[in-house]
Structure formats: C-alpha cells, structure tokens
C-alpha cells in the first residue's frame, strides 16, 4: 500500500494544487461565494467519508430544535433525483439519500431537503410557508459557493488530516490549509481513555489557530438494537448469532464495540452508501440461513437500515449511535454548546 501511495503522490500533488488555486479564488472574491443572513452551520471534513458527520448533525438538531425551526440541507449522495427535493411523508431513501432519510424519519418538526446546489437549496428553504430559523449544511465544507456562518470541521482520532495525503495517494479531498476556515475542529471517534495530555498533544499537532477551538468526542452506542417491531437489549444480544451487514466507510469502531460486548458475529462488508441488489439480499439471506443457532438476526447500521432493510420482512435490526463529548456535560461540551447557541442567537437577531 505504501508503494502504491508513493506512486500516486505526484497525482495527489497535482490535484492539491488545483484545489488550492480554487480556494484562493474564493478567498480573493474572484469566484463569488454567497452569504446568507439566516444562520448556516457547516459540518464537514477534509477527507472522504467516515468522520462522524451524521451523529454530529443529530447532536446539533437535539441542541437547537426546542428553540428554533431547524432545516438540514444535504446534496443527497447517490440519490436517484436531481435538484431541490424536500422530504415528505412519501419520500424514499432512493429519492433523497440514506442519511437525509435517516434524519427525516428520526426527528419530528425539522425540515430535511437535498440539493447539489446549496445556494439554490437555501433560497428554496427560505421561500417555504414555514421557513427555517437555522440551516445545518451537511458535508458542505468544500461547497464554497455558500459562505457558511459557522464551520465545524471533523477529523477522526485514528486518521487525523495532518497525517493524511491528497487523493488518490491518501483520503484528503482538500489541502490541510483548508482547516483554517473552521471555527471549531472536532476530533471524533476517540477512545474513552484519552488523557488530557494526549488531547493537548493532538491539538498541538493540528496546529490550530488562536481563533479556533478543538474538542474531542467519541461514539456512544445505544443500549439496544432496534427494528420497527421491537428492541433487544445488547446484553441479551450476547446470546445470539449475529450477521453484521454494513455499507459504511469505516467499520472498525463498530466491530471493536461488538467484540468488546462479546457479541458473536459474521461480517458482510460493502462499500459506503452501497445500494444492495436483489442478488446481495439473497446472499445475505443465505448467510443468515447458514447460521445454525436458533437465536440469530441481521444487524446493520441505521443508515443502511433506512436505505435498504426498513421495509423488508427480514429479521433485521440496527444499532443507533450518538456523538458524545469525552466528558459528558463537562466544561468542554458546555463551551461547544455556548458557541453554537451564541452564533445562532446573534445571527437570528441580525437577520
């Protein structure tokens, strides 16, 4: 792998120079970037996939929904439609994408929309009969046609952007200098035992600006697996044989968690945002049938569930996850909450 990356490094350097030139044109106003009066919070990363954007979006929804009308605007990755689409009662994951569908089915009274053109998307949201008070822009850090009011950059603990390389040699889709646009940098998927000193060293390694703040979060798994019909406690899941089916970028945190909980599983791993075919579903059913235990089920992720398995008759469950700060309700988390609420409040007052 290292040899391949070495060969691809010149291509990555060329790609990086193109991205850098594009960003400079935005910075200098040569390419126009639209700024909206409505509060816009960007959640994104410098790399491709697997940084924990969805649980962070859900965290922000829970933080703001009681005081504001919240809208989520995504491009709707791998959807079958084009242009602006507003989630409604009869909307499917195929029409808007799996993650937007997950948000829509999970939260009441929020607006979920998709548009590859975020400027048009925000304009459409503002024209709704009951428009939002704040827009969360999912995976829009590189979408510089919109000048985000507050930018949150995510980077996973085990693959910090400063340790990565530009595509195709690495996973970066933007040079690390782009991190300077963020007001907040969150190191995600941290181990529980990460010490204060280790957090300090990582913050120093990221070389953040004085105007930026770094936070550290981990994945919190639900105490139960869910289906439409029922829930099963994780402690009871230890008595099952599990077929784990995933279509996500990074599976290690999930598989490590299941091993730690002593849950026996066989893993069928597919690409991120994978669209399961009938042939795939037949293979999954065959794999489940091959498990001899009478107590067996299929376990998947929440976005795989809403994309593929929610309306099947299969014995399928998903394991919800949340973003949790390393010290829940500690000073760091309160600091983050205050920054977000203060930005929204001030922007709302000035709009």
Residue 231's DSSP bridge partners are: 226
pLDDT at 2: 66
Segment 73-85, tens digit of pLDDT: 999 998 999 999 9
SS (H, E, C) 95-115: HHCHHHHHHHHHCCCCEEEEC
Among 182, 160, 189, 206, residue whose Cα is nearest residue 43: 182
Query: Could you tell me the pLDDT band of residue 182, with boundaries at 50, 70 and 90?
Result: very high
Confidence (pTM): 0.94
Segment 265-287, tens digit of pLDDT: 999 999 998 989 999 999 999 99
Look at the block and give the residue holding tokens 């965290």: 59
Q: In CATH, which of 3.40.50.920, 3.40.50.2000, 3.40.50.300, 1.20.1530.20 is domain 24-220+325-350? A: 3.40.50.300
Cα–Cα distance between 304 and 29 in angstroms, integer?
40
Side-by-side strand order, sheet with 296-300: 231-233, 224-226, 316-318, 296-300, 241-246, 264-269
Task: Tell me what the mean pLDDT of segment 129-139 comes to.
Answer: 97
Cα–Cα distance between 62 and 68 in angstroms, integer?
11
| Percent over 90 (pLDDT), the chain | 87
Look at the block and give the residue holding tokens 């594009």: 22
| Whole-Å CA distances, 168 to 5, 303, 328, 342 | 8, 26, 37, 39
Segment 302-342, tens digit of pLDDT: 999 999 998 776 789 999 999 999 987 789 999 999 999 99
């Amino acid at each position: 792998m290292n040899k391949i990356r070495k060969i691809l490094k010149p291509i990555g350097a060329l790609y990086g120079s193109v991205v850098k030139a594009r960003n400079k044109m935005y910075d200098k106003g040569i390419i126009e970037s639209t700024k909206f009066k409505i509060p816009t919070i960007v959640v994104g990363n410098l790399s491709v996939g697997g940084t924990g954007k969805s649980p962070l979006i859900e965290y922000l929804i829970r933080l703001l929904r009681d005081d504001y009308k919240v809208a989520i605007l995504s491009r709707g990755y791998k959807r079958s439609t084009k242009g602006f689409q507003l989630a409604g009662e009869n909307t499917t994951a195929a029409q808007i994408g799996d993650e937007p569908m997950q948000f829509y089915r999970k939260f009441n009274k929020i607006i979920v929309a998709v548009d590859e053109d975020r400027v048009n998307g925000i304009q459409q949201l503002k024209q709704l009969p009951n428009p939002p008070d704040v827009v969360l822009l999912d995976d829009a850090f590189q979408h510089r046609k919109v000048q985000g009011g507050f930018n949150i950059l995510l980077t996973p603990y085990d693959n910090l952007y400063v340790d990565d390389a530009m595509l195709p040699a690495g996973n970066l889709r933007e040079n690390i200098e782009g991190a300077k646009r963020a007001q907040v940098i969150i190191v995600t998927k941290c181990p529980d035992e990460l010490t204060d000193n280790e957090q300090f060293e990582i913050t120093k390694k990221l070389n953040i600006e004085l105007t930026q703040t770094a936070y550290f979060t981990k994945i919190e798994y639900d105490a139960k697996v869910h289906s439409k019909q029922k829930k099963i406690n994780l402690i009871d899941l230890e008595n099952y044989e599990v077929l784990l089916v995933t279509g996500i970028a990074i599976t290690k945190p999930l598989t490590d968690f299941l091993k730690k909980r002593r849950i026996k599983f066989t893993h069928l791993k597919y690409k991120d945002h994978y669209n399961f075919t009938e042939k795939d579903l037949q293979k999954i059913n065959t794999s489940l049938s091959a498990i001899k235990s009478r107590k067996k089920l299929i376990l998947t992720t929440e976005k795989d569930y809403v994309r593929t398995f929610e309306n099947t008759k299969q014995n399928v469950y998903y394991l919800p996850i949340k973003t949790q700060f390393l010290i829940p309700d500690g000073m760091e988390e309160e600091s983050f909450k205050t920054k977000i609420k203060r930005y929204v409040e001030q922007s709302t007052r000035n709009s």
